[in-house]
Amino acid sequence: MISENKLSPNYRSIALLFIGSLIGISSLFLLPNKLLGYDQGAVAQINNAVIRKDEYDRAIALFRGDKRGPITDADLNLVLRKLIEEELLVQAALRNDSPRKDMKIRQRVLQTLLTSIQTRSAAGIGDPSQSAGEDLKFYLNQLRDSADIQMLKKVSDNILVTSEID
Amino acid sequence: MSQTSHFSKSVMRIVLALIGLILVLVGSNTHFNLTNYPPDTLVTVNGYPITQSALRNAEKRIQSNSSDPMNPDDREFLLQRLIDDELLLQHADDLDILTTDPGIRKLLVRSSIDSIIEDSRSIPISDEQLRAFYEDHKSVFQRPGRIRLKVASFSNPEMAKDAREIVKKEVPFKLAIADTKIGELINIPSSLLPEHVLRRYLGSELAAVALSLSENQISSPITLGEFTYLIYVLTKEPEQQLSFDDSRLQVKSEYRSRHRQNALTNALTHLRKHADIRVDQSFLHQLAQGSKKNDL
């Protein structure tokens, strides 16, 4: 009897933990729609990406500007279909690793990020005593500090590489 | 009894531990990279490999005009640059720059389309294929009908009638119009014009009348708004079917263009089929209602 009394709270806590875990797991399947923006104005969801209502409205406004007659239901569906196709192509390019393989995209991404760092520096958001170049160096050092960089090969046939990165 | 209870408790703990582990893994942003890196990988940056061939390519880009090999210090510097680039690319991905910047999105779309239609650019086309395509799409390879004409405008319909009578007496159109002193020749090219170009110059109503006339025929006066017009057709060339040999280049270009379009349509169908796409139909319905109201 005494042992039963001792065990029952343990069982209860384990059961509660189990129920909690089940709720946690089930929420993983139920929550994504909300987390991904369905309640924040999404008109469509394509895999993990959403097309927001304001994006859709903008696309319709552009379409309206080009069309002479009134907008029809078919036009609304066409605009949405085009936005979905655009998203599918963007996702396909990302799956193909285009930002690394395609030099045009690679340069554009790097340039965009560098510009934002420089703008930040010019706006005085960073350390005011640092120049834009120093700010970039500082930024890169921060990225390096939090990164996992591993050297797999020290020396190759015709390429000499040092053993340490930093 | 106690052994069974101990066993079930252990099993329960293991199950809970596994559930906890799954939750942690699903909730984290960690990317798992198994060590199946390319054999020439030099460095990994957060699990992403930078290979010897990538370094060589970068070297080639920098030294495109030089045949001298890069010295080890420069090569080391270049490797560091590639590591920095990789860190920035990963950071851009974390910041969603890749998917939210409109310019980058455009480039990504272009890149996808290019890779889809890549085969269409280089695919060899046999003469038989081209001939079969030509036979199946003959109407595409027609030279449209063309027309050469003169058009005069009058502010007074009676003067247009008089001018028409003069032209009928075989007086040249230009002279007859000049004779009226009110009529004015409309400035249009004196070459043969296809139908769509004619519409651009005259508008659809006058173009329709012009196309209905025969060679050397003058129209009845046509009043549109404040002016009355006379159209005189000088030459009319009917629609012509181009032979395969005359249109070979056009056939080839059209064949490739349709091949590209089909490849893109098929690829998009495939992408759609394998994607999880959900549309908020109720919003679309509301929007359609709102749009109709706005148009009214």
**Could you give the angle at the alpha carbon of B31 between the alpha carbons of B27 and B34, nearest 5°?**
130
Interface residue B85 vs chain A (CB under 8 A)? yes
In the predicted model, is pLDDT for residue B31 greater than 60? no
Residue A160, pLDDT score: 44
pLDDT tens track for B85-144: 999 999 999 999 999 999 999 999 999 999 999 877 778 899 999 999 999 999 899 988
Encode pLDDT of B137-172 as tens digits: 998 999 888 999 999 999 989 989 989 998 888 889
Mean pLDDT of B217-223: 94
Mutate to test the interface with A, among B57, B287, B293, B296 (most CBs of A within 10 A): B287
Query: Chain B partners of A98 at a C-beta cutoff of 8 Å?
Result: 108, 111-112
> What radius of gyration do chain A's Cα atoms show?
27
State the smallest CA–CA distance between residue A148 and chain B in angstroms. 5
pLDDT for residue A94: 96
| A59–B contact, CB cutoff 8 A | no
Reported ipTM: the value is 0.71
Higher pLDDT, B209 or A68: B209
Rounded CA-CA distance B150/B152 in Å is 7
| Contact across the interface for B104 and A17, Cβ inside 8 Å | no
The yes-or-no verdict on residue B296 having pLDDT over 60 is: no
Q: How far apart are CA A115 and CA A111, in angstroms?
A: 6
pLDDT at B250 over 50: yes
A102 contacts in chain B (CB < 8 Å): 107, 111
How far is Cα A161 from Cα B43, in angstroms, rounded to an integer?
A: 10
- Residue A127, pLDDT > 90, answer no
**What band does A124 get if pLDDT is binned at 50, 70 and 90?**
low
Which pair of tokens denotes residue A102?
């395609």
Which of B86, B104, B282 best probes binding to A when mutated, by most A CB atoms within 10 angstroms? Answer: B104
Query: What pLDDT is stored for residue A132 in this prediction?
Result: 64
Give the per-residue SS3 of chain A: CHHHHHHHHHHHHHHHHHHHHHHHHHHHHHCHHHHCCHHHCEEEEECCEEEEHHHHHHHHHHHHHHCCCCCCHHHHHHHHHHHHHHHHHHHHHHHCCHHHHCHHHHHHHHHHHHHHHHHHHHCCCCCCCCCHHHHHHHHHHHHHHCCCEEECCCECCCCECCCCCC
* Predicted local confidence at residue A35, as pLDDT: 45
Which residue is listed with tokens 């990789």? B86
Residue A125 pLDDT class (50, 70, 90 cuts):
low
pLDDT at A106 over 80: yes
For chain A, domain boundaries: 7-33, 40-95, 100-126
pLDDT score of A103 more than 70: yes
Structure confidence at residue B242 as a pLDDT band (50, 70, 90)? very high
Q: Is A131 on the interface with B (CB under 8 A)?
A: no
Q: Hey, are the CB atoms on A89 and B76 less than 8 Å from each other?
A: no
**Cβ–Cβ contact A44 with B under 8 A:** yes
CA–CA separation, B291 vs B31, rounded Å?
44
Average pLDDT, chain A: 78
